[in-house]
Amino acid sequence: MAVIHETTMRPTKLELLAAWLPGREWFTGTEASPAKAGGFRLDDPAGEVGIEFMAVTDRDGAAYLVPLTYRAAPLPGAGHALVGTSEHGVLGTRWIYDGAHDPVLVAQLYALLTGRTRAQDQNLSDAVDPTVTVTAAAPTGPSDAEPAGVVDGPGHTDVVVRAGGAAPTLRLSRRLRPGPEATPTAGGRVEAEWRLSDGTRARGTYALLLPDGS
């Protein structure tokens, strides 16, 4: 169960993202000024890693999906995916990673897309988020999935995973756009909301499960 602490982080997540986002291939601005716009969390069954799918908007109105993981120690071999470190008022130093490169987030996103776990509220402890809808793919193998490769593109990040004898792809929609993403081969889909700069709400695809070979 994810426990949400009412405390401080220094620097804040948004301050770290302001420095990190401009270096991403899928970021379209020149200088980031991100504002939190929505998202959800997933539980780590081991209770060790925080998992958050954060939607942010920038000053030009563009919306981005930033999956983040929060760890009590560095993730070996993932220095290239480090967003930064922050001092948490309760938990101490947290190492914050781009979750597309974190095996715990990848495994739990695969579990979500195959109907084996549920999205949790971004701001409340032990609370399912009913606004997140999942069109789940039928499980065809074990629940565990391990990342085998990550490729960033101009609008999304693809994570190839090993799941039994198959190698499906988890596609993270880095540039969020209202409406369903036109991907007829998708085996599973996660849709959720985010808040636009004018205060209205939009809804669209956060993640897809693309079958092996698609």
Q: What is the pLDDT of residue 26?
A: 95
Residue 38 resides in a domain: yes
Residue 3 resides in a domain: no
Block means of pLDDT (10 residues each) for the chain, length 214 residues? 72 96 92 94 95 95 96 96 92 94 96 94 93 85 80 94 87 92 75 92 95 70
Residue 39 resides in a domain: yes
Domain count, the chain: 1
Residue 46 resides in a domain: yes
Q: What is the pLDDT of residue 72?
A: 96
Q: What is the pLDDT of residue 214?
A: 58
Q: What is the pLDDT of residue 166?
A: 82
Residue 183 resides in a domain: yes
Residue 4 resides in a domain: no
Residue 1 resides in a domain: no
Residue 2 resides in a domain: no
The whole domain housing 74 covers: 9-210
SS3 labels along the chain = CCCCCCCCEECCHHHHHHHHHHHCCCCCCCCCCCEEEEEEEECCCCCCCEEEEEEEECCCCCEEEEEEEEECCCCCCCHHHEEEEEEECCCEEEEEEEHHHCHHHHHHHHHHHCCCCCCECCCCCCCECCCCEEECCCCCCCCCCEEEEEEECCCEEEEEEEECCECCEEEEECECCCECCCCCCCCEEEEEEEECCCCCEEEEEEEEEECCCC
